[in-house]
Structure 1
Amino acid sequence: MDVDALLDRIGAKPPAAPTGATLSELHRAFALTMPSEDYDIHLGVPISLHLDDIADKMIRRRRGGYCYELNGLFAGFLRELGFDVTLFSAFTIGEDGTHGPDFDHLRLLVDTFDGLFLADCGNGGSWIDPVPLRTGVHGHVRLQRDGDLWWTSERRHDGRWEPGWAWYPRARELPEFGERSRYHEHDPHSYFVARRFAVLPTPDGRISLLNGVFSEIDHDVRIDRRVDADEERSLLAERFEIVIDRPWRPLAVEKSSTAS
């Protein structure tokens, strides 16, 4: 991996030591630069979980990705910089207590000179900063555990806590996420197959494109507007630095709308 090129892309300096403070700086720089996006799925471009391929896509071609790509690259990047990083398989927990599929999300545990932190640059742009591995409330994230089971919740603007991801502290490797990634890439029931999106947090909110709707949140003020394909492509280039030079496949809802 070309660490210098990635540092240059996110506008960060190489850390002097793997501390909690430098992890926070790198996490924030990465999260504010690398968009969560799934346009390759809708372009028919295969998604690879080989680290060299992810680095080529996100550094050289200046694209974003989804959780396996974003957190996979961030893990490799941190390791190159001297951090000890563990990959966890995260899943959902339903209201009845049932567990969702393993490997549904990739979350990172980072060991620093100042203790253990959770890192997640691939959670739809909702985490800008890492979270200490310590139960309790950390900003808008609440961390809880029951024995070996850990889980997070996130506080929304209306004050309610929304369930997040859960995991067991078992170390995984990136190729183990491949089967679930292929499901998300191809299955008609996949969240990603049904949604064409790009999300990028900003210091005061976030911007997003979702199925042809552009949204901008700035200091809790939200504006939404529908855009056509040409404006969507322009917004991708101007606001997300994502250049798409060919048509994407229409979603089922767009096909239905066109037919009617």
Structure 2
Amino acid sequence: MDVAAYLARIGAPRPAAPTSASLAALQRAHVQSVPFEDYDIHTGVTISLEPDVLERKIVQRHRGGYCYELNGLFGALLRELGFAVTLVAAFSLDDNGTRGPDVDHLRLLVDAVDGNWVVDVGNGARWPQPVPRRPGVHGRVQVYRDGDVWWTTERRGDGSWERGWAWTPQPRQLADFAERNRYQQYDPSSDFVGRRVAALATPTGRISLVNGVFAELANGVRTEREVSAAEEWALLADRFGIVLDRPWAERVPVLTSC
């Protein structure tokens, strides 16, 4: 990995040591520079989880990606910088204990020299900083644990708490997510197949584009508006740094062997 190029991509200096403060600075820089987005799915480009392909896409071509891509590559960067990183498979978990697919999301457990954290730069630009890896309320995120199962809830704008992803600490490899990555791209029941999305954190909140609706959250105030296809294309470049070389399709071809 070209660490210097990756750090330049997110506008962050190389940390002197793998501390909690440097981890927070890296995550904040990442979510404000690298968008969460799925436009490859809608332009017919296969999403690969090979590390060299991810580096070319995110670092060299200045694109974003979704959880497997963003957390997968960011985890590799953190290892290069001296952090201990464990990839974990995350899943939905409802109030009745019903679990979704085990590898529906990828999160990172990161150990700094002075703390243990949950890191997620692939969560729709909703986590601007690491979350302490211990049960309790940590700002807008609450962490729970029941034996080996951990999960989070996130505070909404109206003050209520929304259930987030759950996980177990079993270490995973990026290749473990390959089959689910294929599902996310091609299966008609995948949320990503039916939804063009881009999201990026900002110093005062978050911007997003979802199926032609541009929304901005700034200092707690949310605005949104529908945009034309031409304006969506322009916004992708101007606000998210996503420059596409082909138009998106209204429908994505479905492979029969998903």
TM-score range (shorter-chain normalised) is: over 0.9
Matched residue, 1:141: 141
State the one-letter code of the partner of 1:218: A
CA displacement 1:128-181 (0-9 Å, x = unmatched): 000111110111000010111110000011110100011111000000000011
TM-score (norm 1): 0.95
Q: What's 1:53 paired with?
A: 53
* 2:128 match: 128
RMSD, matched Cα: 1.0
Q: Which runs of 4+ in 1 moved over 4 A?
A: none
C-alpha distance after superposition, 1:210-237 (max 9, x if no partner): 0011111111211111111111110000
Post-superposition Cα deviations, 1:30-55, rounded to whole Å, max 9, x if no partner, equal 11111000000000100000111001
Q: TM-score of the superposition, structure 2-length normalised? A: 0.96
Distance 1:215 1:164 in 2: 21
Work out the percentage of aligned pairs sharing the same amino acid.
60
* Distance in 2 between residues matched to 1:220 and 1:251, nearest whole Å: 35
- Partner-residue secondary structure (3-state), 1:122: coil
C-alpha displacement of 1:76: 0.5
Task: Tell me what 1:41 maps to.
Answer: 41
Q: Distance in 1 between matches of 2:154 and 2:198?
A: 20
Shift of 1:94: 2.1
- Gaps spanning 5+ residues in structure 2: where? 253-258
Q: What is the match of residue 234 of structure 2?
A: 234
- Given residue 74 of structure 2, which amino acid in structure 1 is its aligned partner? F
Is 2:221 the partner of 1:221?
yes
Q: CA offset at residue 205 of structure 1?
A: 1.1
In 1, Cα distance between equivalents of 2:149 and 2:227: 43
Q: Find the counterpart in structure 1 of residue 71 from structure 2.
A: 71
In the alignment, which residue of structure 2 is the partner of 1:207?
A: 207
SS at match of 1:153: strand
Is contact 1:195–1:251 with CA below 8 Å preserved after alignment?
A: no
Looking at structure 2, the residues matched to 121 and 12 of structure 1 have their Cα atoms a distance apart, in angstroms, of 15
Deviations 1:163-204 (A, max 9, x none): 001111100000000001110010000010010010001111
Consecutive unaligned residues of structure 1, counting only runs of 5 or more, are 253-260
User: Is residue 41–residue 193 contact of structure 1 (8 Å, CA) maintained in 2?
Assistant: yes
CA distance in 1, matches of 2:242, 2:147: 42
Counterpart residue type for residue 6 of structure 2: L
**2:256 corresponds to which residue?**
none
